[in-house]
Structure 1
Amino acid sequence: MPITTLGKLFDLESQESGGSPLFMSPTPTTDPEPISGVKTGGDGGRIPVEEWLPITESRKGNVYTATFHLLCSGIGLQVILLPAAFAALGWVWGTIILTVGFVWKLYTTWLLVHLHEAVPGIRISRFVRLAIASFGVKLGKLLAIFPVMYLSGGACTILVITGGKSIQQLLQIMSEDNTAPLTSVQCFLVFSCIAIVMSQFPNLNSLFGVSVIGAIMGVTYCTVIWILPVTSDAQKTQVRYATSDKSFVHIFNAIGLIALVFRGNNLVLEIQGTLPSDSKNPSSTTMWRAVMMSQTLIAICMFPLSVVVYWAYGDKIPATGGPVGNYLKLYTQEHSKQAACFIHLTFIFSCLCSYPINLMPACDNAEMVYTTKKQKPASIIVRMMLRVFLGMVCFSIAVVFPFLPYLAVLIGAIALLVTFTYPSFMWISIKKPQRKSPMWLFNVLMGCLGASLSVLLLVASAMHLAQKGLHANFFNP
């Protein structure tokens, strides 16, 4: 690897005079510790300050911790929107696009896993750092900061909105007069308070128990959602499957709903950073096993849910996206109150457990700024206050912009670059395969297709909003 690239990996804070250290790594030592062997217990490859930051504070993870982290962050609330995409695309194209997206995501994850230790002795445990190492300091920050921070803070904000609305729906189902005793803002606050408390674990590796619960809840509600229609009489009513609207806007908005399911690459390097690594057992081997195990379970949840729910409800499913609660209401109408309550409850727990993992990159960055300025690790009080502050920011944004789920495809189109575009170009930049070789050509093609998809989804979502309107309800969840 060229000396200039190594310099970017180590001197990530080099910037113009007077620049802010925000989103940058603290200045590493001139003699960084190599990947550890037996003597250090597989806990090396760090600059000293990394031992103070929540993502890399503990490298004692294993294949099971990584698997559950990937599961909890991978079975997102967007999975419930897949039948809506099928309602717009139909059986054939819905299945094809979902399969292509799944394989594409698996490939770019493989690239990131093997870029984590692309240079022997160096571990890149954050997506922004890999972007800087690949594209340079200025361009790397420009390309990666917004998508990564949106996928962190934006995902938590949407979890507050969706989780809060689900709490309100659950209370409404349980009440005798079919009214919720709490307002939407109060439900947002309840969800945020619980989520902030759950975010107080010191580091990413310590969130293992939360990830286990979140993964179990995610698999449970996905399974129940597709099993209920099979075992009930829902399909006996007349169902239509014809797609009436075949316009560019409608089709690409549906493709966007499918693409949003495959976010999560912003957490791959971070989760791999919790694993030990040495020359005999590199972290990439353990991480790839965790990826295969988690993605197998995600596929088992994702594909039956998409196909069976569309088979059961057909044109009853709104094909325009929007809040997840719109789709959960189908189960309130078609099934028993107990079944509807169980789905809502497991869904809420899944959202609560996903929140701390999605918030961790923002917490890590906030502590990075603190340790850079103070040259000392954040105390328990400082760490707690930073996470409370970030949680309240997400809550405030959710209250001010409760219509954000309607903008998921529009804003998410930019963040999709993290999954479908950047990893291919990062591989070319770091690994430097021979120009016009099969690997070089394939990654250029994948990167260009990913960028084109992002642009098309952005245009289609903007046109959809222009046609249908947004009905922005500021400060009125």
Structure 2
Amino acid sequence: MYLSGGSCVMLIITAGSSMEQLFNIICEEGTMCGSMSLSGTQWFLIFTCIALIIAQLFPNLNSIARVSLTGAITSIGYCTMIWALSISKGRPNDVSYGIPVADRTGMTGFGNILNAFGIIMLAFRGHNLILEIQGTLPSDSKHPSRKSMWRGVMVSYMIIAMCLFPLAIVGFWAYGNEIPEEGILTAFTKFHGQDTSKYVIGLIYIWLTISCITSYQIYAMPAFDNLEFIYASSKKRRCPGWVRAGIRLFFGGVTFFVAVAFPFLGKLAPLIGGMAAVPLTFVYPCFMWISIRKPRPKGAMWSLNLGVGSIGIVLSLLLIVAAVWKLDDKGLNANFFRP
């Protein structure tokens, strides 16, 4: 629930900023629409309304397969366009790759390495949805759902790697240490925005926004299901349509409020990765497997799961400590309620 909600908040922040950038690209200063710019809160609200309207059309995870496919296509599209255009435009002059000695030695260097692990963990989020999706697949003794789910996971993470690794490699090659915290797209706009067609850049932002809209449906659906299950369990009857709509509006309102209240949430990605992503990836599944399957104590599988789970706990604690250390060292511009 908390990772799904946090992902939806991040999507609101990302998409709201992208929609604002798209508006600024299309409506140049001095034009009639250029004088009608909206605030960050209003862009967040527009995206949330669009996402919630679409959410009312799909009752469960099984019904959003086409939405998921659309999101995958647009994600591959905008990721490929960013790194391909970065290569075609070439590196700006005086690109620096050197890391200051103070940032790669001592506790600061150790903290930066652990922070990188936290960001990577959060970038490969989605594992909290695997069992939710598997629960919608047909399953029997001859064709268990875990086999088709395993194939789906392998293909999905291959596609994610195909999107993220070129972005990371090409981004560092093209911009080096000039990449801002906002990411490679901001760096590309900064260095090549003047010599690139605004329609090309606008297409990247459109695909990014569509990807965020579709991702919101996927990450929000487990929260919708859990809230509807709580209602059905307490009332001992099925959840009627108006209650389902109200639950989704309530969830959307909560995520919108958090996005407006904490628009700097992206800067807390390593901390969130240590608190949420690592336990869900390494800790919970291992101890759940031991609890459910009850393997022979001190056997091979028992020892393997106990070891991986314990390493996950240590890694989670180290990531949290490193993230807090970096926040204390670098500071945080906590622009509460000022997106």
Whole-Å separation in 1 of the counterparts to 2:92 and 2:218: 41
Correspondence for 1:240: 96
Taking structure 2 as the reference length, what is the TM-score of the superposition? 0.90
Q: Does 1:384 align with 2:236?
A: no
Cα distance, 1:445–1:213 mapped onto 2, change above 3 Å: same
Whole-Å separation in 1 of the counterparts to 2:50 and 2:11: 12
Correspondence for 2:174: 312
Partner AA of 1:163 in structure 2: A
Q: Displacement of 1:236 after TM fit? A: 5.9
Correspondence for 1:212: 69
Task: Verify the 8 A CA contact 1:331 1:340 in the aligned structure 2.
Answer: no
Partner AA of 2:42 in structure 1: Q
Partner AA of 2:73 in structure 1: I
Whole-Å separation in 1 of the counterparts to 2:99 and 2:83: 21
Whole-Å separation in 2 of the counterparts to 1:262 and 1:314: 23
Correspondence for 1:286: 148
Correspondence for 2:293: 431
Which of 13, 21, 31 is matched with 1:161 structurally?
13
Which of 333, 337, 350 is matched with 2:211 structurally?
350
Partner AA of 2:238 in structure 1: P
Whole-Å separation in 2 of the counterparts to 1:254 and 1:275: 35
Partner AA of 2:237 in structure 1: K
Task: Verify the 8 A CA contact 2:124 2:160 in the aligned structure 1.
Answer: no
Residues 22-64 of structure 1 deviation map (CA, whole Å, 9 limit, x = unaligned): xxxxxxxxxxxxxxxxxxxxxxxxxxxxxxxxxxxxxxxxxxx
Whole-Å separation in 2 of the counterparts to 1:169 and 1:374: 46
Q: Displacement of 1:442 after TM fit? A: 2.3
Which of 273, 279, 293 is matched with 1:412 structurally?
273
Q: Displacement of 1:431 after TM fit? A: 2.2
The 5-angstrom pairing of residues 139-158 of structure 1 reads 149-158=1-10
Whole-Å separation in 1 of the counterparts to 2:289 and 2:93: 51
Q: Does 1:174 align with 2:26?
A: yes
Secondary structure of the residue aligned to 1:281 is coil
Task: Identify the range of structure 1 (166-175 vs 187-196) with the bigger mean alpha-carbon deviation.
Answer: 166-175
Task: Verify the 8 A CA contact 1:262 1:419 in the aligned structure 2.
Answer: no
Correspondence for 1:249: 111
Whole-Å separation in 2 of the counterparts to 1:472 and 1:430: 43
The 5-angstrom pairing of residues 63-102 of structure 1 reads none
Unaligned runs of 5+ in 2: none
Whole-Å separation in 1 of the counterparts to 2:50 and 2:82: 25
Q: Displacement of 1:161 after TM fit? A: 1.2
Which of 164, 180, 185 is matched with 2:41 structurally?
185
Whole-Å separation in 1 of the counterparts to 2:116 and 2:240: 46
Whole-Å separation in 2 of the counterparts to 1:476 and 1:297: 35
Partner AA of 1:217 in structure 2: T
Correspondence for 1:339: 200
RMSD, matched Cα: 1.7
Partner AA of 1:470 in structure 2: L
Partner AA of 1:187 in structure 2: W
Whole-Å separation in 1 of the counterparts to 2:161 and 2:331: 34
Whole-Å separation in 2 of the counterparts to 1:237 and 1:474: 37
Aligned length: 323
Q: Displacement of 1:302 after TM fit? A: 2.0
Q: Displacement of 1:223 after TM fit? A: 1.2
Secondary structure of the residue aligned to 2:252 is helix
Partner AA of 2:55 in structure 1: S
Cα distance, 1:333–1:471 mapped onto 2, change above 3 Å: closer
Q: Does 1:223 align with 2:80?
A: yes
Secondary structure of the residue aligned to 1:421 is helix
Q: Displacement of 1:428 after TM fit? A: 2.1
Whole-Å separation in 2 of the counterparts to 1:226 and 1:331: 9
Q: Displacement of 1:328 after TM fit? A: 2.1
Task: Verify the 8 A CA contact 1:239 1:313 in the aligned structure 2.
Answer: yes
